[in-house]
Copies of this chain bind each other. A is one copy, B any other.
Amino acid sequence: MTKLIDVDLAKCYRLLNHGPTVLVTSAFSGKQNVMAAAWAMPLDFDPPKMLVVIDKSTYSRQLIDASGEFILNIPCRAQAQQVLKVGSSSGEQADKFAESGLQAVPGQSMAAPRVAGCIGYLECKVIPEPHNQQKYDLFIGEVIAAQADADVYSEGRWHFEGHDEKRSLHYISGGAFFSIGEQFQVE
């Protein structure tokens, strides 16, 4: 069983600072969905804000537009196949959780589900910016809850040594990923 720790909101940007691919989850009126997004990053420290690009053609967009909420789930190497699956199909006609084998578990602060087995979670309320949303498919979310897997995140830092299957994923294209590599320090 994964042990999650709360992440200090003022430092939760560190979950995304190194550029991992995320899974975006959303829910509205009894429907839920999950999609993959390589285009997500921090925008501000405190209050913490995140950016994510959510295409108009996606079912997730409908749910997020309706609910004003989403969760950025940070998947890991063990989940790469499922991440690819939910990045290449639509949830309008099918249940992408069932299709992909990913498991939905309750979010901490909103109706959107979390994806079980991810290494980090950023639960976000949309800060409405209609021009960005319409013109660029760009969403700003304020983070209201953040947690991470205690095996690979503690004291405000990722540390993946000894946990290769929990390394973050960084999508390339065509089903190819990088996993995050060696950590090193400079002065």
Contacts of A14 in B (CB 8 A): 172-173
Least Cβ–Cβ distance between A65 and chain B, in angstroms = 19
Q: In the bound complex, how far is the Cα of B51 from the Cα of A40, in angstroms?
A: 10
Least Cβ–Cβ distance between A46 and chain B, in angstroms = 14
Q: In the complex, which of the residues B44, B156, B172 contacts A17, with contact meaning CB atoms closer than 8 Å?
A: B172
A: interface residue count bin: 35 or more
| A76 is an interface residue with CB less than 8 A from chain B | no
Cβ contacts A29-49/B at 8 Å (1 or 0 each): 000000000111111100001
B179 engages A184 (CB within 8 Å): yes
Contacts of A131 in B (CB 8 A): 131
Copies in the complex: 2
Of all chain B residues, the one with the shortest Cβ separation from A157 is B172
B180 engages A176 (CB within 8 Å): no
Q: In the complex, which of the residues B17, B39, B81, B172 contacts A183, with contact meaning CB atoms closer than 8 Å?
A: B172
> Which of chain A's residues 37-69 have a Cβ closer than 8 Å to chain B?
38-44, 49, 51, 53
Of all chain B residues, the one with the shortest Cβ separation from A184 is B177
Q: In the bound complex, how far is the Cα of B84 from the Cα of A138, in angstroms?
A: 29
Q: In the bound complex, how far is the Cα of B51 from the Cα of A156, in angstroms?
A: 25
B38 engages A39 (CB within 8 Å): no
Q: Which residues of A contact B (CB under 8 A)?
A: 14, 17-21, 38-44, 49, 51, 53, 80-81, 84, 131-132, 136, 138, 140, 156-158, 167, 170-173, 175-187
